[in-house]
Amino acid sequence: MNAVKQLKYSLIVIFSLFVSFLHAQKPNEMLQKSNDLVYEGNELIDEDFVSAEKEYRKALSKAPSNTIGSYNLGNAYYNSGHFDEAMIRHVEAAKNANSKSERHLAYHNIGNILMQKELCKEAVEAFKNALRNNPSDDESRYNLALAKECAKNQGGG
């Protein structure tokens, strides 16, 4: 009887370790699936916006904090003139960014969206955030100067 209990205990431990191992693999697997879907969206974006959007959304459903998925979906919306949707996705990308480089790109695009919406004071702050994450980016520096001039012309100084 003692051997049966020991066997049951061993099987429970082995099963628990197996489940733990599977659980640990799941986030990486989901991120890989998400990245694959982002790639598919990138392949479709020039010919079929709706299909590309669908792939990006599927990617985000697999891994909601996938910065690349949010960023690329934001770019797709921006390029199609859907600035409010683009803003939502770029804010997500900035929030979930894993590096200064990712954060810089997201804030730079947030600044561009705000300029499109003529929210110049807010764009100034976005470009400043972009430069905090990549001080050597001349395009962000140039856009910051444009945003400051726009804010000045709007009376916001």
Q: Could you tell me if 89 and 71 are in contact, meaning their C-beta atoms sit under 8 angstroms apart?
A: yes
Q: Give the pLDDT mean for 140-144.
A: 98
Q: Give the pLDDT mean for 124-137.
A: 98
| CATH classification of the domain holding 130 | 1.25.40
**Domains contained in the chain, number:** 2
Cβ neighbours around 76 below 10 Å, total: 22
Q: Could you tell me if 104 and 133 are in contact, meaning their C-beta atoms sit under 8 angstroms apart?
A: yes
Q: What is the mean pLDDT of the chain?
A: 86
- Cα distance between residue 62 and residue 86, in whole Å: 20
Q: What is the pLDDT of residue 148?
A: 98
The verdict on residue 16 lying in a domain is: no
The residue range of the domain holding 75 is 29-96
Say if residue 11's pLDDT is above 60: no
Statement to judge: residues 45 and 81 lie in one domain: yes
- Cα distance between residue 154 and residue 30, in whole Å: 46
pTM: 0.79
Statement to judge: residues 125 and 92 lie in one domain: no
Statement to judge: residues 113 and 142 lie in one domain: yes
Statement to judge: residues 109 and 61 lie in one domain: no
Single out the residue in 50, 78, 96 at which a domain terminates: 96
Q: Give the pLDDT mean for 94-107.
A: 95
Residues listed for the chain: 157
Q: How confident is the model at residue 8 (pLDDT cuts 50, 70, 90)?
A: low
